[in-house]
Amino acid sequence: MNTQRFVFDDGHWLRGNIHAHTTISDGKLSPAEVLTLYSEAGYDFIALTDHDRYHVHSHSDLICIGGVEVTGYLAKKPIHLQLLPLPGLPVFREGQQFSLTDEEETRRFIATYHKRCIILLNHPAWSLLESDEVIRLGPIAGIEISNYSTERLNAVDGSIHLWECALREGRRWLGYGSDDNHNKESDCFGSWIWVKAAEPSAQAIVEAIEKGHFYSSEGPFIHRFEIRGGRVVAECSPVSRIIVKGERRNFVRRLGDGITSLEAPLNGQSRYLRLECTDEQGRSAYSNPIWLT
């Protein structure tokens, strides 16, 4: 039986925040304080991604991934690009600084690094980008669809709509969630990713993220999401809405108190399907898309 899953069975589920700031840029806590905060909260991994400076940190109980948030430009607006170097390649020097001045330089930067880094467009809604601007950015791997800091502290909507516009245009982009925390606790622990990694190591986590073997969550758990024998099957922790969305609204949906599964025949035509599970407090979990064609 032909089965497509958005993640595979083997491996470890690991929870992490891959967008965080410290006193190296505009965060209020030192790197050591942020690492302790997330370790004590039970996270498995983190990437401290300060503005325009690349660092790899270390901690005894938390797997640390190197990363940086680089300011670039699109349609004359500042944008923030998240770069996580792929394992095994010398990409950036410890402490390396970045200074992009215009869109042309930003496009050259993406072209230079997109095969050596996972490049993600951070908080496009907060950056005031329009969908036609986002979809012509170039060869990035995905966009940040849930950003706890900008949503909680600035009341900026998430970027799900911009992601869906890009998916409809055929961009096979991943969607990811993060805290983008700059403060202590007021913008921590609201949005994260669960990665299915071959082993609990920085290398395996980055490899799994590159393959899209993760989902984003603000609370709920996704236990299963697959297409099996012409049916879509989803299982999750108790929520009040489970919805499978495609590109032409040919979705299936289930509403109820504490529901944990959905199964339905595949109807209509869609190049992709994605799962969104929302609990009664409005917190969602978002799968990456399963591409059907």
Interaction site with Zn ion (CB under 5 A): 69, 80, 122, 180
Q: Closer to Zn ion by CB, 81 or 204: give it.
A: 81
Give least dist CB 83 to Zn ion, A. 12
Give the C-alpha separation, 197 to 182, whole Å: 27
Beta strands in the chain (DSSP E): 3-5, 12-17, 45-47, 63-65, 68-74, 77-85, 117-121, 142-147, 174-178, 192-197, 214-217, 222-228, 231-245, 252-265, 272-278, 284-287, 290-291
Give least dist CB 219 to Zn ion, A. 21
Q: Closer to Zn ion by CB, 81 or 266: give it.
A: 81
Residue with tokens 């940086």: 68
Give least dist CB 226 to Zn ion, A. 33
Give least dist CB 131 to Zn ion, A. 19
Give the C-alpha separation, 128 to 216, whole Å: 22
Residue nearest to Zn ion (CB): 80
Give residue 270's Cα distance to chain centre.
23
Q: Closer to Zn ion by CB, 69 or 247: give it.
A: 69
Give least dist CB 138 to Zn ion, A. 18
Q: Give the strand pairing for 117-121 and 142-147.
A: parallel
Q: Closer to Zn ion by CB, 150 or 284: give it.
A: 150
Q: Closer to Zn ion by CB, 128 or 255: give it.
A: 128
